[in-house]
Structure 1
């Protein structure tokens, strides 16, 4: 099985191509019910059409004001991921919105791309692409095994107090894989030397409809839908170790389950916010 290269490349973007002129609500690369039974369709809909759309609206509002000011226009045109590298240059009246709503925008964009209806298969020494095999080697060097990575990641996620995220990222300066928690919608990518590879949304809106206060069950469900090949490709791009190969794709039966929500339905839902 081979995944179409164009889809794989699109799934890797950390909003790099998104100029901060008017950010769209990124469409999901699968149907809302595609992650069942691990993540329910009701949660996916309210998470995407409610929360992600709201962050998009908020950051666009701030960017619109900044574009109209000659002294801030250059910041607004950077692109949201680049702008997050320059938060110290954003005027105080907009810095909170850019940090919170902008961080929420990019985190959620990567969140959807970290999940897959055909996910849950971690890299091995026999994985079909070179980036998966190299990623497996890096995981083994840092954590000892994929299972030990999952244990460390899960322990970190359980320690999130209130709302936040758990990240696996590549530290470009130290050349290592690292796990961290962030509060609110902060992201390690606010530091250009840190490249997120995988993340877990620990805000209650990501899991409460299905799991209520049983966070451990939510973390366990997450591992069943992790898009490991995409994380491995992000690792290859961040580390520069290898040129990533085309990723495996779902078979014909799985492709029938994967599709975008009709544009008119998505637009109508967003308009109601």
Structure 2
């Protein structure tokens, strides 16, 4: 059986166990939702393969999109990875450690299949980028930007996401981040309601974020579509990210995104968020 078929069969089995609903009754909806990211990853790989690099020596016009380099700069800042040297970061906890809030099967598939898929695509895009740079094909370089943003963002966003969670975590934050939340949102409860509302309201696939604005020295809540990086999209340094693609919760929470967002607050690693906040403020000179 093909890997895709095995993946779908595993999803169907787990969904039946969790919901007690006959898979045939909801199969069409399940496949559309739970397989959406796998399809997006595959489509982006095909997009990269389809970009044709011109032969060296042809007349070149235009300018390279500066956001191409920015994607790799953000990845290096988070992971220390040079362009093209990308790998799956190990989790600091077991796949089962976030139970019962996020189930083991979701964590296994999410980390080893989806995140790895972004990395594979990113490395393929980097190879094509190097070819385009050698040929000085600016059009091809810029055409690769959507792949850099999608796959590079997927790698970056997920890396932050894994560190934002921890077993036996959750509750209310302490330290500088707690003071900043109270200052910028009025209270932790007010922050929680706003963050939850923005995350639940993401149309289609995307992320809910708590970020830091270096210019204003303030916290802000924002959402991003698909795998768009927060800093590239809104100019905010990412502190806390919540993946609301349906693959991140569908097996366990089905279409009840609000329940998943509520459960997420039980696994937030506030020590990590606080550390990110302190580093971001220091880098901004505050």
TM-score (norm 2): 0.68
CA 1:72–1:201 in 2, change beyond 3 Å: closer, same or farther? farther
Alpha-carbon separation, structure 2, partners of 1:192 and 1:16? 21
* Aligned counterparts, 1:62-101, within 5 A: 62-71=125-134, 91-101=141-151
- Pair 1:136–1:148, CA change in 2 (3 A): same
SS at match of 2:78: coil
Give the alignment of 1:168-247 within 5 angstroms: 168-190=210-232, 193-240=235-282
Q: CA deviation at 1:216?
A: 1.2
Q: Matched residues in 2 for 1:241 and 1:54: separation?
A: 32
Q: Residue 109 of structure 1 is aligned with which of 152, 159, 175?
A: 159
* CA separation of 1:14 and 1:230: change in aligned 2, threshold 3 A: farther
State how 1:4-19 maps to structure 2 within 5 Å.
15-19=78-82
Counterparts of 1:119 and 1:228 in 2: how far apart (Å)?
A: 8
Gaps of 5+ in 1: 1-12, 74-87, 125-132, 243-273
Aligned length: 209
Secondary structure, aligned partner of 1:91:
helix
Q: Which has the larger radius of gyration?
A: 2
1:14 touches 1:106 (CA, 8 Å); kept in 2?
A: no
Q: Which has the higher contact order (CA 8 A, sep 6+)?
A: 1
Distance 2:112 2:79 in 1: 22
Take 1:191 and 1:19, find their aligned partners in 2: how far apart are those partners? 22
State the alpha-carbon separation in 2 of the partners of residues 34 and 168 from structure 1: 24
Give the Å deviation of 1:209.
Answer: 0.4
CA shift, 1:89, in A, is 9.7
The answer on 1:147 being equivalent to 2:189 is yes
Task: Measure how far apart 1:193 and its partner are.
Answer: 4.5
Return the alpha-carbon distance in structure 1 between the equivalents of residues 139 and 169 of structure 2: 39
Q: Secondary structure of the equivalent of 2:162?
A: helix
The TM-score with structure 1 as length reference comes to 0.71
Out of 190, 193, 204, the residue aligned to residue 162 of structure 1 is 204
C-alpha distance in structure 2 between counterparts of 1:14 and 1:151, whole Å:
30
- Counterpart of 1:20 in structure 2 is 83
Structure with a larger share of its residues in helix: 2
- Local SS of the residue matching 2:211: strand
Distance 2:274 2:112 in 1: 28
8 Å Cα contact 2:133/2:141 also seen in 1: no
